[in-house]
């Protein structure tokens, strides 16, 4: 059982269970032991299930495609019955336990996943790193001084360390794709409304989404098959795919029209390593028969940034008020930047908020027109090669936080604002041997296009054997 997840993805592990080559309890016990060992150095799991809670989780798991596969759920945007959802905040550490699973978590259980714990996140998911004051910093298996990114850094760290095959992740501005890029994993943010956020309504004016980070493309596709679909009363429902997302990974993509970017829209020049990674990937795509040319959508990046900040701040204030049930945060209950963001959100007027949402929609129109000409847009996932721990500070000014946030979301957040699907793939490596994520965006509802392309690139430039020194384990 040692190193099982280095050689098997989640679907392969489930197949071992289904064919009785591995017992469910044997798999569960071995995985939990490995997770605890990895967590001693990574600090990626905030809560391990044990006793009656673990047994309920085992009993709730169905016989779906991931039968018996252990899994962790991020402490943000998803409730698990019987446990609190802390959103990475000291203020909500003693929140009442959830009475029921959120819709997506219920689907995870029906798919066969055995939820064994909750993974670390930045407070309210605001930071593109995972270093909350409550719970402490998660380390990247690729280096003890490096951040795994955020806000899904806890999930990404344990998968990168090969302690799990995949783990739940959420994405409000890049929080699936940022840690996927920094940890050498596959991460896809689905289209708006592809997975229900119930019992929540919309999140961040429709910018929020969830799925996972994974070692293989097909695991993410199969999980999306299991989670996709709406709940009664959902504000958005993405158009149904032509087939299954897993089936898309088994098909060669059609000849795609691919645009690539060497710098962010309205942004400055990038590190030459990132430019080289884009150029090499563009050349690979051309070799695979796709039509590739340099082009970028002409949206107003400054207006988008202002609008995104407005929506994020207003939601931070409102979410704190909704969850607090009348409690008032004390001076040490929230991180300084979270408090400053909430205070800024409190001052947002209805006029400000509506204008911000209208900016989201205008930007979506620009991207919609762009994807009439192109099938896919390629860029780096991030505007930097790596992220040292301690560089994104949540104990300083809002201005300093925004300055360090900007390069982390330069390519990702526009996809959240406009609702289009996007994925990060570890197709290049830095001079220091660190993974570099390449970012692929498609038109709204076109996850099948991305999965077919991802499977083709995974075959052409595999990454499963590229792993942290020592397996990222202590």
Confidence tier at 325 by pLDDT (50, 70, 90): confident
Tokens of 172: 């409000």
pLDDT score, position 326: 86
pLDDT score, position 108: 98
| φ, ψ at 114 (rounded to 5°) | -105, 105
pLDDT score, position 1: 77
Tens of pLDDT along 330-362? Answer: 999 999 999 999 999 999 999 999 999 999 999
For the chain, the domains span: 4-472
Give 223-264 as a DSSP string. Answer: HHHHHBB--TT-S--PPPPSS-HHHHTTSPPP--EEEE-SS-
1-to-31, 130, 362 alpha-carbon distances in Å: 9, 29, 52
Active-site residue list: 74, 151, 175
Alpha helices in 184-216 (DSSP H): none
Gyration radius from the chain CA atoms: 20
CA–CA separation, 180 and 75 (whole Å) = 17
317: exposed, middle or buried (C-beta count within 10 Å: 0-12, 13-18, 19+)? middle
Q: How many CA atoms lie within 13 A of 70 on its CB side?
A: 29
Tens of pLDDT along 287-312? Answer: 999 999 999 999 999 999 999 999 99
Name the CATH superfamily, with its identifier, for domain 4-472. Amidase signature (AS) domain (3.90.1300.10)
| φ, ψ at 342 (rounded to 5°) | -65, -40
Tens of pLDDT along 143-193? Answer: 999 999 999 999 999 999 999 999 999 999 999 999 999 999 999 999 999
Q: What angle do CA 278, 387, 152 make, to 5 degrees?
A: 90
**Residue 330 neighbours by CB distance under 10 Å:** 9
């Amino acid at each position: 059982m040692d190193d099982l997840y280095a050689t098997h993805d989640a679907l392969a592990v489930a197949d071992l269970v289904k064919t009785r080559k591995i017992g469910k309890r044997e798999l569960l016990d071995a995985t939990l032991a490995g997770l605890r060992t990895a967590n001693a150095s990574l600090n990626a799991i905030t809560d391990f299930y044990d006793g009656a809670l673990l047994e309920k989780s085992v009993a709730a798991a169905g016989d779906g495609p991931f039968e018996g596969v252990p899994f962790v759920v991020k402490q943000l945007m998803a409730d698990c019955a019987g446990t609190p959802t802390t959103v990475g905040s000291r203020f909500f550490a003693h929140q009442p336990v959830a009475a029921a699973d959120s819709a997506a978590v219920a689907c995870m259980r029906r798919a066969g996943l055995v939820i064994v714990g909750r993974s670390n996140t930045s407070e309210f998911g605001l930071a593109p790193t995972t270093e909350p004051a409550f719970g402490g910093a998660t380390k990247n298996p690729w280096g003890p001084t490096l951040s795994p990114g955020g806000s899904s850094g806890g999930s990404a760290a344990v998968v990168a360390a090969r302690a799990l095959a995949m783990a739940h992740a959420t994405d409000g501005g890049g929080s699936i794709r940022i840690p996927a890029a920094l940890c050498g994993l596959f991460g896809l943010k689905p289209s708006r409304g592809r997975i229900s956020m119930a019992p929540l309504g919309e999140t961040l004016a429709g910018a929020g989404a969830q799925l996972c980070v994974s070692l293989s493309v097909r695991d993410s596709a199969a999980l999306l098959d299991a989670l996709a679909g709406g709940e009664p009363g959902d504000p958005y429902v993405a158009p149904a795919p032509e087939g299954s997302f897993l089936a898309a990974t088994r098909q060669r993509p059609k000849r795609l029209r691919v645009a690539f970017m060497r710098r962010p829209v309205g942004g400055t020049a990038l590190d030459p390593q990132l430019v080289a990674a884009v150029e090499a990937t563009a050349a690979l795509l051309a070799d695979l028969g796709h039509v590739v040319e340099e082009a970028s959508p002409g949206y107003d990046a400054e207006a988008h940034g202002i609008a995104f900040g407005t929506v994020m701040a207003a939601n931070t204030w409102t979410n704190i008020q909704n969850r607090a049930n009348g409690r008032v945060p004390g001076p040490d209950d929230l991180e300084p930047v979270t408090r400053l963001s909430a205070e800024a959100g409190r001052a947002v007027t209805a006029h400000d908020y509506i204008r911000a949402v209208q900016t989201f929609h205008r930007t979506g129109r620009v991207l919609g027109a762009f994807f009439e000409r192109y099938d896919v847009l390629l860029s780096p996932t991030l505007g930097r090669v790596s992220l040292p721990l301690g560089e994104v500070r949540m104990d300083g000014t809002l201005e300093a936080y925004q300055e360090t946030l900007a390069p982390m979301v330069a390519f990702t957040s526009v996809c959240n604002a406009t609702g289009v699907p996007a994925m990060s793939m570890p197709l290049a490596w830095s001079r220091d041997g660190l993974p570099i994520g390449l970012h692929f965006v498609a038109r709204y509802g076109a996850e099948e296009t991305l999965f077919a392309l991802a499977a083709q690139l995974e075959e052409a430039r595999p990454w499963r054997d590229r792993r942290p020194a020592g397996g990222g384990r202590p």
